Chains A and B, each alone.
Chain A
Amino acid sequence: MKIKAKVKKDITKVKMLIKHPMETGRRKDQDGNVIPGLYITEVSASHNSQPVFYAEVGQAVSKDPYMAFSFKGGMSGDKVSITWIDSSGATGKGEAAIK
């Protein structure tokens, strides 16, 4: 996962790019077999252990999901951490310092 967090006038904008196939469960492979669905369902972010973002998402999110949100109170150098879970129960996480 890649995270970019930047603070400007007390508002921290966080952008994330998560490496994930986001299979909808509607695609077929070359032999015509349905590729089983596998997609991120929830993403959450925290700043200094305080939650600052939570999203529920579905199959309609593009491959290698991109999301961005903003919050107040972040300072340059603070850590923002993000975690996700997908429909198989697999999880991932990433962390970045606010610039």
Chain B
Amino acid sequence: MNKVRVLFFIALSIPLFSSSRLYAGADVKPILDDARTTLNQAAAKDFEWTTTRKLIADAETALAVGDKDKSLKLAKAALNEAEKSLIQANYAEAHWQDGSPL
């Protein structure tokens, strides 16, 4: 594999977009709700990632056992992924032709 292609794939592998709505408080539940809603929107477009539901489940587990810090961290990660998958879905809808090398 030549270097250009290696770089190309590394670039592809790095998340191209990153944003997460800012939640001022440290309340996990609304973040989780947001993550779920966003993920379901992405899933409805067939763009769910394999990793996101597990993050939500892990956040809920951590919350249930009272590990609030861990739960918050996981919930934010889940929301971040859900948002990215939805952005990916919307981007694909509008720009899928750009994915063609032809």
Complex: A in contact with B (CB within 8 Å)? no
